[in-house]
Structure 1
Amino acid sequence: MKNQFHSFEGQEGKEGLEVQMDQMDQMDQMDQMDQGDRQSGGTAGIISRRKLLSSIGIAGLGMAAGTLLNSGIGFAKSGGSVTETVYGPSESSEADILGQGLKLKVKSCVDESCVILATIAELRAMATPVSGSVYYVTDIMQEGPFYYDAADSVSLDNTGLVLVSTSGKRFKRIYEGPVNVKWFGAKGDGSTDDTAAIQAAINSQTSGGVVFLPSSTYIVSSTLSIPYNNVKIMGSGSSTVIKSANTSNYEAMIWASELSGIEVADMVVDANQANRLSLTVRTVAIYMVSCTDSIVDNCIVQNTIGGGGIPGVGIGIGGGSVRCKITGCTLKDCGVAGKAADGVFTSGTQNLIMNCIALNCTDTGFVIESSNLSGIIGCTAKKCGAGAAITNALTTDVTGNFIDGLTINDWSASNTGGIQIGTPIARPGALLNTRVSNVTMERIAGSGPSIYARQMGGKIIGLTLENIRINGAGTQGILFTATDILIANCHVYNTTNAGIQSLGVCERVIIEGCYIYGGTFGVALNGDLSDCHLVGNVIIGKTGQTNYGIYCFGTETNINFIMNSIENVIIKKIGYDAGTTPNIFSTTNASISTNGTQTASTLGAVSRKLQVFDKDGSSIGFIPIYNAIT
């Protein structure tokens, strides 16, 4: 129910109401008179002025009064003191409400308009409501003012905003802002099943709105489904916990499909893997499928698990979702051995994963799959199978996905590497125009390459890897099969295999401005590679490690090594198999390395000369340039 109440200004306004608080002290004794009735669960009593103000606030009471007056069901006349204007005269009485047998204590009323205390059960038993009165529900955690809507005969009882009596009368809560799940009967005690109450609160927001979960632990035994656009489910931060019930067997905890403007924010969502050992499905904590302009923000998601051969997921933005964001979330302890789970999984168009942390996710921390123009920005992954992945599982091409800002500490996925670009499973669709930049990768334990790029059954075309710092890898620092690939300004240290290595058919490759220290190879070009240019790289062998600088395997064509600096390499600075003839002009141990020389029986006259200087700038001689060679 969308609140439609307006602000109320009496003769003295809201400030005047606050001043009158001091004049109400004489009426506090009425709280004591009624306390016994309320605590014993007996019939309702008159509510004190101070109690009503503290329960719904001066502004809230004023809004109720103003609208009820304007609609003809007001409970106070203007005139007299502000106190009397809001509450009426101070006398109290016990009355049989219109002969219904319900003994309710009421204020002496003005024009038959009263503030009346009642329980939910008493409202549901009421046959003839008092015209124009406000009913203040006293049930613990469901307190609040209601009014009788005589014009409504169709609204359903939703336990929180609309209460329907046995005679069909509709009582509607007076409220502004979010709806509280505890109004609908949620206990939040960590043991009661609150699924139905939370779902009722969500279902009440037919036109969109905020469903609020105060600080508590709420147990759910089945999926909480969001049925309407523009619904926001919001908690109080880490003190609000939604937890799957022990032994429950269902997939998604919070679910939305084909909706717009959905938000889930400020809470912990716990899939409770340890106490759901009989699961026959995987689990997903928050799952939005084919949604648009939706957000998951500032949530902690934990303890999901894979099942049925499918990875579990902490937060999933699936299907054809468009312009959805996951921001400021922490994904932790997702998956166990043999039942892996991702931290975040997205697919669709223009979706973003921003400023998130994945910790101990046994599959992949952050996944962009079968997407266009989607990205990972400013995230961290620690002790995950892989830190991140950009893949395509479609038969059609996808384009424009990126990683911009990612820190990965420890990974263990030997098949995919620390960052997976493409898929090891045959998929004919291509990955086009993919960019990975501003990445730091630190490996203390684990296996596999740091970055592994290949699309089995398809192609990776247009891949940029830049500003990447890699320290340690199970095998290679960067291993790739791609066309139109640029690897620039990457620093690769302490690999057990090659620092950078191509594999299979690769075309139009540029490796530029990289620094590689250690590894059995600095750069290894392996397979049918063509049009490759290594420009301005620094390769330094690690003392005590058997190594090569640059090596070409197979039958590479049009290979150019230009102004690379290669130092401290034991076996061969630049080597290549017989089927490859690279064009070389680089420096090795401060000497020029080139295979561009020619043999000659006679030389022409010296026409020019190239001067060479030592480290202090003194000339040490000239290299002659001849006008002809025969």
Structure 2
Amino acid sequence: MQNKSMLILLLLLFVNCHPEEEEILDLNLFNKSETDETQRSEQANRLRVKNIKALRQLSLPDVKTRKEVTVLGFYEPGDGGGGVFTWNPISTEEDNGGTIISTVDLETGRWKRIYNDTINVKWFGAKGDGITDDTIEIQNALDIYGNIKFDYGIYIISKTLISIHSNRDIFSYDSAVLSLSDGALCEILILKNCENSTVRGLKFHGNSTKNRLDIGKFTVNDVDLGLSHSSALLKIKSCKNVKVENVQIEDSFIAPVVLENSINCKILNSISINHKREGFGIKGGQNCVIDNCHSESASPGLAWSLYFTSGIPGDKHKHNHVLSNNIAINAQAALMTINTTYTRVTGNVIKKTTPNHITSGPGIRLGHRQEYNSAENCLVDNNIISGITPDIPFGNDSGNRGISVDYGTGSVISNNSITDCNAGIGNTFSGDKTIYIIRNYIENVSSYGISVDYGQNSEIRENVLRNCSVGIRSRQKAGKIIKNKIKGFSIYGIGVFWGASEEIGGHEIRGNILENGMEGADYYRIDALSQQMFEGNVP
């Protein structure tokens, strides 16, 4: 009986001497069955603590005698913020809250997390619970060199995050979401002045139901927010060899992803839905690519372009950008390239499914109205375009074409399919420039199938046009209209206009086939032009 009382007393004393037993647990207590001397020696030098707070509060004897500490979580065991730390007795490095931890008792010496090259944002206290603002914690993680991992969760962001380190992979295997908080009218993440990095597997949410800009502006109540057409939830700025892959953007009040003044950067296999402004974009730079992406606007009256490239007005160096194999649904101008040269727009699918208005724009636009917004020596090839404002009156086609070219000197438009649109292919402001319109298929347009206004020496060759009000209209100097097939026109098949025979006398019009003109339609319509120019055409 006496022995039993003594045992109870010793147990009470043990509990009273360990007030933080809930946070600091000696692993030796859980390994009494171990017989291997090496394992027992290692376990004797390792402590297990509940969280980072407990790690900071380890007493001096524990710090001096333990080689490693296992931390079970940042706040609570199992929350993803835990890990193994080792003691460095001479370190005076700054405590960064995640990989380097100081103790409350010692100025010299740090606990250093054992890891390879990947940092988890939860190591720094990010919760990802959809409620807590995780901005500071994530920025602290980004400030450390290494790859950045986001576990599953919704991370609330209230201020733009900046990443400047090169050779970095920012990723999530679980489609983690970075969502702007209410009233946070800013970009979410900017990679700046870095190289050889990736962003993949993440979702970005703009919270546009709570974050709204003035209509058509980058202001709120006319207060300038410092945003612009190149602002984006995810921006790659002044970088080289950066790849954005498999990201998803929802409800953005600015562009989803933009490559700004960057070289050899790519946006691949990504999705943007329900955004209110511009789409995936390339601003300046060289050799950038947007490929195999899907972009859909919830507000076609506001979303000017779902994909765009633009540069500095007057900049004539070779940009060599590529927009390829993308899907675009609902916008004023689905794909637009201005102030860029040698851009390739290939293999894209463009469709409008919502009611459109006379203010709608083209499926693809090269250049924009002024010469300093030109798009020279570009290739537009093998795109599929449908539903570009098909129901507005004849003659209101300016800007409402499948493909529109404004100041597109040297550009080639070839092998595209354009159906159920107001107009097919046309240029309006090309001045004395030359473009090449070759082997396109155009069907069911309510206005002009192909219209070249102004310009010089442009070629319209081997195109197939069906059921257009007008097949081909040319108002240029010395153009070529060769081997086109036009069937089912209601106003005229081919028309050439300028107003003075000496200015248009150099036209070459041969080998065209015109069929099934509707009653009252002209096969050819000319303006002060000799009929002999149509020799060799059928009929």
TM-score band (shorter)?
0.7 to 0.9
1:278-324 CA-to-partner distances (Å, cap 9, x unmatched) read: 7734562101111111111100012122xxxxxx2110111x21000
Corresponding residue SS for 1:85: helix
Q: 1:189 is aligned with what amino acid?
A: D
2:281–2:307 Cα contact (<8 Å) kept: yes
- Within the alignment, does 1:321 sit opposite 2:265 as a pair? no
- Report percent identity of matched pairs: 20
Q: 2:25 is aligned with what amino acid?
A: G
> Which of 38, 46, 50 is the aligned partner of 1:85?
38
> Which of 102, 121, 141 is the aligned partner of 1:164?
102
Pairwise CA distance, 1:579: 5.4
1:557–1:582 Cα contact (<8 Å) kept: no
- Within the alignment, does 1:331 sit opposite 2:272 as a pair? yes
2:52–2:71 Cα contact (<8 Å) kept: yes
> Which of 491, 498, 502 is the aligned partner of 2:448?
498
Distance 1:118 1:572, change over 3 A: closer
Partner of residue 294, structure 1: 242
Distance between the aligned counterparts of 1:533 and 1:441, measured in 2? 25
1:304–1:341 Cα contact (<8 Å) kept: no
- Within the alignment, does 1:536 sit opposite 2:475 as a pair? no
Within-5 A mapping of 1:193-592: 193-205=133-145, 209-238=146-175, 240-249=176-185, 251-277=186-212, 280=220, 281=225, 282=227, 284-305=232-253, 312-318=254-260, 320-335=261-276, 340-360=277-297, 362-370=303-311, 372-392=319-339, 398-410=340-352, 412=356, 414=359, 416-424=361-369, 426-428=370-372, 430-443=374-387, 445=389, 448-455=400-407, 460-479=408-427, 481-482=429-430, 483-504=433-454, 506-526=455-475, 529-542=476-489, 546-554=490-498, 555=500, 556-570=504-518, 571-578=521-528, 583-588=533-538, 591=539
Distance between the aligned counterparts of 2:257 and 2:98, measured in 1? 29
Distance 1:214 1:330, change over 3 A: same
Distance between the aligned counterparts of 2:57 and 2:161, measured in 1? 31
Q: 2:295 is aligned with what amino acid?
A: A
> Which of 16, 26, 43 is the aligned partner of 1:46?
26
- Structure 1 residues without counterparts, runs of 5 or longer: 1-37, 52-80, 90-106, 306-311, 393-397, 592-630
- Within the alignment, does 1:187 sit opposite 2:187 as a pair? no
1:87–1:115 Cα contact (<8 Å) kept: no
1:322-342 CA-to-partner distances (Å, cap 9, x unmatched) read: 00000001011111xxxx333
Within-5 A mapping of 1:65-76: none
- Within the alignment, does 1:123 sit opposite 2:80 as a pair? no
Distance 1:316 1:261, change over 3 A: same
1:516–1:538 Cα contact (<8 Å) kept: yes
Pairwise CA distance, 1:581: 6.4
1:118–1:135 Cα contact (<8 Å) kept: no
Corresponding residue SS for 1:296: strand
137-146 vs 506-515, which moves further: 137-146
> Which of 119, 138, 143 is the aligned partner of 2:82?
143
Distance between the aligned counterparts of 1:271 and 1:180, measured in 2? 23
Q: Give TM-score, length-normalised by structure 1.
A: 0.70
Distance between the aligned counterparts of 2:40 and 2:306, measured in 1? 58
Q: 1:431 is aligned with what amino acid?
A: A
Distance 1:163 1:241, change over 3 A: same
Pairwise CA distance, 1:384: 2.2
1:500–1:524 Cα contact (<8 Å) kept: yes
Q: 2:51 is aligned with what amino acid?
A: T
Distance between the aligned counterparts of 1:381 and 1:127, measured in 2? 61
Distance 1:582 1:157, change over 3 A: farther
Corresponding residue SS for 1:274: coil
1:136-191 CA-to-partner distances (Å, cap 9, x unmatched) read: 112332221101112311x2111111111232231101122421111111111111
Rg larger for:
1
Corresponding residue SS for 2:140: helix
Q: 1:159 is aligned with what amino acid?
A: G
Distance 1:292 1:444, change over 3 A: closer
Distance 1:137 1:229, change over 3 A: same
1:451-503 CA-to-partner distances (Å, cap 9, x unmatched) read: 11003xxxx21110111000022244434554232111100011111100011
Distance between the aligned counterparts of 1:582 and 1:450, measured in 2? 32
Partner of residue 314, structure 2: none
Distance between the aligned counterparts of 1:84 and 1:257, measured in 2? 52
Q: 2:234 is aligned with what amino acid?
A: I
1:481–1:502 Cα contact (<8 Å) kept: no
Distance between the aligned counterparts of 1:124 and 1:557, measured in 2? 88
Higher relative contact order (CA 8 A, sep 6+): 2
Distance between the aligned counterparts of 1:49 and 1:574, measured in 2? 98
1:409-466 CA-to-partner distances (Å, cap 9, x unmatched) read: 1175846411110012x343643211000100111756711111003xxxx2111011
1:368–1:375 Cα contact (<8 Å) kept: no
1:602-627 CA-to-partner distances (Å, cap 9, x unmatched) read: xxxxxxxxxxxxxxxxxxxxxxxxxx
Number of residue pairs aligned between Structure 1 and Structure 2: 469
Distance 1:184 1:82, change over 3 A: farther
Distance between the aligned counterparts of 1:490 and 1:188, measured in 2? 50
Corresponding residue SS for 2:381: strand
Distance 1:433 1:49, change over 3 A: farther
Q: 1:487 is aligned with what amino acid?
A: I
Distance between the aligned counterparts of 2:530 and 2:87, measured in 1? 89
Distance between the aligned counterparts of 2:323 and 2:87, measured in 1? 51
2:418–2:424 Cα contact (<8 Å) kept: no
Distance between the aligned counterparts of 1:288 and 1:161, measured in 2? 27
Distance between the aligned counterparts of 2:58 and 2:371, measured in 1? 66
Q: 1:353 is aligned with what amino acid?
A: I
Tell me which protein shows more strand as a share of its residues: 1
Partner of residue 34, structure 1: none
